[in-house]
Amino acid sequence: MQIRRSGYGYYLIILAAALSALLHVVSKPMLENSETTIEINPIVMAFLIYFICGIFFTPLVKNTHSISKFGRKDWIFIGLIGIAEVSALITYFYGLTTSTAVNASLFSNSEIIFALVIAMLVFRERLHIKECIPFTMIIIGMMIVPIGNDLYQNNFALHQLVTGDLLIILAGFLYAVDITLCKYLGDRFDVKKITQIVSFICAAVAISLIVVFQIPMDVDLMQLPGIFILSILGTGMSTLFFLMGMKIIGAVRTVLLYSTTSVFGVVFSGLILAETVTVADICSLALVLTGIFFLRNRLVEGNESINTDEKLIKSTNTSRKNKSSKKRRHMQKTSIMHIIEKNIVFQSWAGAG
């Protein structure tokens, strides 16, 4: 029965990854001008996605904590999360207008790397040699190879395609800031409730930018189905399936399965948008997935080591109370593998990310 339940968890995470990949593919045509449809401004697109996503989560949070449970500090962090998240999505859309959906898919795991870098700076942790190798593989596959290939194709000139790539990577950094801020809310509140509130805050920030800069709300009726797909399937259902699957199989297994978002993105880009998938793209994808796989194995080893230490501390004699307290304080220092696990959990709060 447990094996069967775990199987459902795997299916849910893979489905969440496939739905999340729709963000790269479905939004790309709507951000470009064509003979049949008009070009949607990235800020307008972000507003519509977050507003619809907030409405989607509203019926799902009726029985959760009231907003009166949130303190002043909680609201400050929620506001900062909303600003970071909407900034990330708007930057991503501006980058996607000149980049390709294939490259956007390859960069889709960049927030993990940036979140780890931020965490290492904050907690002053260092990567071990076994962690440096997969970490380097991910960076090479996700950034150096795609950007290097684009530079080579454009005679090492800073072409619009390369500029778009850099904007998408910047969006990954902003999502990493978003993830880092989410950690400070802890497990005190329901994730669906946070997602709903953050979605409406993001929508409020986006509509404020629309009013200030007097951006026209030009949306074609033919584009509405695509917007609903992005909002409900690509964001809402993807986040919901992510949370359901993670409860069943845990964050450790989730990291490997959810990283297939980039695979689905590349496949969808080739099939739906007819974009060219090169050998360099396949090599990038292989490096990223292999690096994440090895990091996932290190995470499992780290969890087993921590669980062993916890059992030892519980069995410590009361006469060694001071020694065990010192060991417990040492354990509370956040290891790089714990940082990875926390970042995976809080990715589900990154809305459309």
Rounded to an integer, what distance in angstroms lies between the CA atom of residue 136 and that of residue 130?
11
Q: What is the pLDDT of residues 297-312, one digit of tens each?
A: 655 555 544 444 445 4
* pLDDT of 260: 86
* pLDDT of 97: 92
Please report how many Cα atoms fall inside a 13 Å half-sphere around the Cα of residue 199, on the Cβ side.
27
Q: What is the pLDDT of residues 46-77, one digit of tens each?
A: 999 999 999 998 888 776 656 667 788 888 98
Give the least confident one: 98-102, 285-289, 328-332.
Answer: 328-332
Q: What is the pLDDT of residues 274-300, one digit of tens each?
A: 999 999 999 999 998 888 877 766 555
Q: Is residue 212 predicted with pLDDT exceeding 60? A: yes
Q: Given the structure tokens 């997935």, which residue do they identify? A: 289
Model confidence band, residue 348 (pLDDT cutoffs 50, 70, 90)? very low
Give the least confident one: 86-90, 131-135, 215-219, 279-283.
Answer: 131-135
pLDDT cut 70: percent of the chain above it: 76
Model confidence band, residue 127 (pLDDT cutoffs 50, 70, 90)? low
Q: What is the mean pLDDT of residues 167-190?
A: 81
* pLDDT of 167: 93
Please give the backbone phi and psi of residue 32, each rounded to the nearest 5 degrees, phi first.
-115, 145
pTM of the predicted model, to two decimals?
Answer: 0.82
172, 50, 17: which is closest to 107 by C-alpha? 172
Let me know: does 141 contact 291? Beta carbons within 8 Å.
yes
* pLDDT of 349: 43
Q: What is the mean pLDDT of residues 223-228?
A: 93
Rounded to an integer, what distance in angstroms lies between the CA atom of residue 108 and that of residue 14?
15
What's the mean pLDDT when you consider all of the chain?
79
Rounded to an integer, what distance in angstroms lies between the CA atom of residue 197 and that of residue 191?
10
Q: Is residue 234 predicted with pLDDT exceeding 50? A: yes
Q: Residue 21 CB: number of other CB atoms within 10 A?
A: 26
Q: Is residue 339 predicted with pLDDT exceeding 60? A: no
Q: Is residue 210 predicted with pLDDT exceeding 80? A: yes
Q: Is residue 205 predicted with pLDDT exceeding 90? A: yes
Buried b (16+ CB within 10 A) or exposed e, 147-162: bebbbeeeeeeeeebb
Return the domain boundaries, the chain: 2-303+338-347
